[in-house]
Amino acid sequence: MEIKQMEEKIKLSPDSFEALPKAQELDNEKIAAPSLTFVQDAWRRLKMNKGAFISLWIIVLMMLVAFGSSFFIDHDSLVKSSPNYANLPAKIPGVPINGLNGKLKVSGEWVDEYKQNNIPTNKYFVLGTDYLGRSLAERIIYGTKVSLIVALVATFFDLTIGVTYGIVSGWKGGRVDNVMQRIIEVISSVPSLVIVVLMLLVLKPGMTSIIAAIAISSWTTMARMIRAETLQLKSQEYVLAARSLGESAPKIAWKHLVPNLSSIIIIQTMYTIPTAIFFEAFLSFIGIGISAPETSLGVLLNDGQKNFQFLPYQMWYPAIVLCVLMIAFNLLGDGLRDAFDPKTRR
């Protein structure tokens, strides 16, 4: 009895199994979401990571200001001393905040250093001046440019020597791989600081000696990571299929290995950049990198720490820029890793 009642309830109309109209059939087959390329999907995923996306624009802004400084900053003003403007605090017109309005705390009281030193009312420095009266803002911008140049050089050697060396070592294997890895071990066993000191015996202190040290030793970590991953990828089915079809080794490396190595390359590159920036700042801070009157973030930190007890702003401003730069690159590296890694795609 119950079965008959259920059959009556689920009775279907005669046209239930008729084919749908052509227009309705095509409409049901439409794809709701638009198809995206790999780069478009990576960009979408990067924008979803707020920290990485904000860091990207911070880096872009800092690079535009730093490399565009050649158009609005005279190099002579970076090295020329002006004793009348020495040790002036930051002054931003219209900002009534102590420390940013030209006042400096002396013996517990805020003193207007601009009035005390008879500085013209139309003359001000947004980040103050150093002990020789040079604008800290201009020197920080130029120092950031130097740090970014060092970072780009380190990236260049990572992407050229490191990636190529690692792929060749992992692809060849056997005796060739063994010899190439022993060379890396020899290079890695020598500290970078020792290499810089040795470069100073041949070259003068400055950008050239730092770049030479980076060219010799900075790419070894990238090469090791790429080699280890290549050893795994070369035994994958798609690589074996490409080899059986007669594709050349360079074509296989470019078409199959590099796309699957992109996440490692990006991650290591993003870690190389802040490491190179800190390396330059450290060398300049201890006096064997870029030296005065030229400027870099390390030189500014070295000058600022001498007067830190009485004029802390001279060290705080370059330290903040250095920290923001390094943190932004690290956050961007994490975001790019998640965006470009095929294994994390959803």
CA dihedral over 96, 99, 103, 107, signed as positive or negative: positive
Digit-coded pLDDT (tens) for 95-153: 888 888 888 887 778 888 888 888 888 888 888 888 888 889 889 998 899 888 888 88
Q: Would you kindly state where each structural domain of the chain is located, as residue ranges?
A: 42-77+136-340
- The most confident of the ranges 13-22, 81-90, 135-144, 211-220 is 135-144
Residue with tokens 């090295």: 79
Pick the range with the lowest mean pLDDT from 20-24, 203-207, 307-311, 324-328. 20-24
Q: Does the domain spanning 42-77+136-340 belong to CATH 1.10.3720.10?
A: yes
pLDDT in tens, 17-73: 555 555 554 455 555 556 777 677 778 888 888 888 999 999 999 999 998 887 877
Token digits of residue 132: 């020789």
Q: Which alpha helices (H) appear in 131-219, and where do they start and end?
A: 136-157, 163-172, 174-189, 192-202, 207-217
Give the integer Cα–Cα distance in Å for 118 and 316: 26
pTM for this prediction: 0.79
Report CA-CA distances (Å) from 68 to 57, 64, 87, 202, 325. Answer: 16, 6, 27, 32, 17
